[in-house]
Every structure is written in structure tokens, then in C-alpha cells.
Amino acid sequence: MTRVRVTAKDVARRAGVSPTTVSYVLNNVKEANISEETRQRVLDAAEELEYVPDAAARALRSGRTQTIGLILPPSQPYPQANPIHLRVMEGLLEVVQQSEVRLLVDSVREAQNDDAYLNLAWNKRIDGLILSDLRIDDQALAKLVDDKFPMVLLGRLPRSKVSSVEFDNRSGAQAAVDHLVEQGHRHIALITHAPSTITGAQERIRGYRDSLTAHSIIYDEGLVRYGGYSAESGFAAATSLLMSERTFTGLFVTSDEVALGVLSALHKHGVSVPNDVAVVSFDDNPMARFTIPPLTSVRLPFEEMGRQAGRMLLDLILGKIKPGRQILLETELVIRESSVRKK
């Protein structure tokens, strides 16, 4: 950087006031009651000098970093980057940009009991934290809760009182399966997008069972397969279902990514969708409209999740709200060709 650093002192000198006044004006401190004329002089001087306050100095003195952290899950179980996280992040960016707050992104590193994001909080790089898809037994999380560090979870932890934003996975899944039942299906298989230790997957399985129960259909473990995030796992799970020679005419897959692999496997085995098997999926990614056939899917408002989590965290940091609020976002079933048998 060749640029010579302009400080508040320089602005003060130019405006003929003290650095104190510069700080009051630039931070809009109402209690200071700065006269309009002085205010304007300071503002002009700051602009002429292209003054930009030093973030580190401000953070050190005020104790506020004006930065929040977003922690993504380890990339390991996810075979490739999950577009979902980026959609959440976009919503989050919208909110932080409006508030002049910055976003620090980190991911949990596997293996080691990760204290990287703990340090993020402890060395005061951030004022608050948004945690995505975490493990239930997270040690670092427990410590931060003890410290009353401002935090919002994406997804819920069972029996946890931490603030969170989550989709209503259970009722969304129930709606998906209800739809299949309405189409006349009684033998409905299930392929999950994650192991059942992940609360999101758990809830979707619950919704599946809720629907079966509501329609007096007996739950059959033999029709259930546990996928793992990728299209590849969906391909394998669907193949396994077909090989089992069990009868099913409906199939609920708990993510679009996995469903893509499922459609590929069904096509490869000559199983026609929706005529032989009707498929309903979850997420409603943009691509769901362009699979062959287009996927019926439960739409999840990812960007909205990011926005809500961001607002909640900022309010938490400012002390405007108390921790423990838990938001549940509505889902919406979008019906396309994959689930509706042609006449």
C-alpha cells in the first residue's frame, strides 16, 4: 500500500475540531449534540481526505468487531460443495451488507476436536456466530453457550435452547408423502439424503412416518435406504431398492441432489418415472425443474434462512432480543411431472 494513512486526527485538524468531535460525527452519536455546522465541516473534511476509519483500532477500543462468523460443516461427508450453503450465505450477505457488518467464513475441520471457530470468538475477531449443520455432540458449541456468546444455529439441536432458524422439515416431508398417497400409492419407499443422526434427516423421516400412520400404511424398514448427500449415493440407494425386488410405486427422496442420482438409476434400469414409480424430492433446487422428468419437490427457502439468521444474530449482538428464539420456516410442495402419472 502506497497510500498514506489518513487518521481521525488529520480530519480533526482540517475541520478545526478535536478528534473527539470527529468520532462523534462519524458515529452519529446523538448524545453529543453536534451542531449542524460543525457536523458538515467534519463530514466535508473526511470526504476531502478520503478518510476511512481503521477497523482494528475501532474494534480494540469499542470491543465490537462489526464482523460475524459463518461456520460451514466439514467438507468431508459432502462429496462436493453444497450449493445450499451458498444460498444461505447470499441471504446472510444481504443482511450484513445493509448493516455495515462483515462476514467471516470458516469451516469445521474434521478429525480434531475443532476449536478453530472457538478461537474466532475468543480472540475477538467476531461479535457473533452462525453455525450450520453441526454435530450434536459439539464440544466447542457447549463452551460458547456457557460464555453466552451470541449465536444462531441453522437447524436445531434436540433439547437445545440455543437460538435457531430451521425449516419445518417434518411437516414438509409429511406433505410430500401425503401427495404420493393422494396419487394412489400405498407402497412408498424412502431414500434419505443423510444418516439419521443428522436432525434434518431425522425430521424428514418422521414426516414420512407421520404420513404413513395418518393413512394407515404400515412402516416397512425394507423400503428405506440411507443416502449420503451425493447423487452418487442416491444412485446406489435406488439400485439397492430395485435389486431387493420389493414392490414400491412411490418414492420419497429427501434431497434433490440425491434424487438426481435416483432418477439416473431408475432410468438405467428401465423404470419409468412417474408411470412405474412416482418420485417426490426435497429442497427444490433450481435444477429440479430441468431433470428428466422435472421433479416434484418440497421447496425450502434457503435465502430466507440466511436473512432470518442474520437479523436474529444482529439483534442478539445489540441486545435487542434474548437468546433462545427458535424460528421454523414454512415449506411448500411444488408439483411437477415426476409424481403425477400421465393419463
Partner DNA sequence: CTGAAAGCGCTTACAG
Grid cell locating 188: 412408498
Q: Binding to a copy of itself by residue 82, rule CB under 8 A?
A: yes
Binding segment toward a copy of itself, per CB under 8 A, in 32-40, 170-178, 181-189, 231-239: 231-239
18 binds, among DNA, a copy of itself, none (CB under 5 to 8 A by kind): DNA
Q: Binding to DNA by residue 3, rule CB under 7 A?
A: no
Distance CA 101, CA 67 (A): 5
Q: Binding to a copy of itself by residue 341, rule CB under 8 A?
A: no
Q: Binding to DNA by residue 134, rule CB under 7 A?
A: no
Q: Binding to a copy of itself by residue 323, rule CB under 8 A?
A: no
CB of 101 to DNA, least distance (A): 14
Q: Binding to a copy of itself by residue 342, rule CB under 8 A?
A: no
Distance CA 288, CA 297 (A): 7
CB of 44 to DNA, least distance (A): 14
Binding segment toward a copy of itself, per CB under 8 A, in 27-35, 182-190, 214-222, 282-290: 282-290
The three-class DSSP label of residue 112 is coil
Q: Which CB sits closer to DNA, 236 or 317?
A: 317
**CA distances from residue 164 to 70, 167, 168, 325 in whole angstroms, order as listed:** 14, 10, 12, 7
The letter for the amino acid at 233 is S
| Cβ atoms within 10 Å, residue 271 | 15
Q: Which CB sits closer to a copy of itself, 12 or 129?
A: 129
Distance CA 338, CA 331 (A): 19
Q: Which CB sits closer to a copy of itself, 201 or 238?
A: 238
Binding segment toward a copy of itself, per CB under 8 A, in 29-37, 144-152, 153-161, 178-186: 144-152
Alpha helices, DSSP H, located in the chain: 8-15, 19-26, 36-48, 55-62, 83-98, 116-122, 139-146, 169-182, 199-214, 231-243, 256-268, 302-317
Q: What is the DSSP letter of 244?
A: T
Q: At a CB cut-off of 8 Å and minimum separation 6, what does 241 contact?
A: 189, 191, 223, 225, 248, 251
Q: Binding to a copy of itself by residue 77, rule CB under 8 A?
A: no
The three-class DSSP label of residue 108 is coil
Q: Binding to DNA by residue 323, rule CB under 7 A?
A: no
Show contacts with DNA in window 22-61 (CB under 7 A): 22-24, 26-27, 29, 32-35, 37-38, 51, 53-54, 57-58, 60-61
Distance CA 308, CA 126 (A): 19
Q: Which CB sits closer to DNA, 22 or 238?
A: 22
**CA distances from residue 325 to 153, 313, 315 in whole angstroms, order as listed:** 11, 11, 11
Q: Binding to a copy of itself by residue 105, rule CB under 8 A?
A: yes
Q: Which residues pair with 5 in a beta bridge?
A: none
Distance CA 323, CA 224 (A): 38
CB of 178 to a copy of itself, least distance (A): 27
Q: What is the DSSP letter of 339?
A: G
Residues lying near a copy of itself in the complex (CB under 8 A) are found at 1-3, 50, 52-57, 59-60, 65, 67, 70, 75, 79-83, 85-87, 89-90, 93, 97, 102-107, 109, 116, 119-120, 122-125, 146-149, 230-232, 234-235, 257, 260-261, 263-264, 267, 285-287, 289-292, 294
Residues lying near DNA in the complex (CB under 7 A) are found at 5-9, 16-24, 26-27, 29, 32-35, 37-38, 51, 53-54, 57-58, 60-62
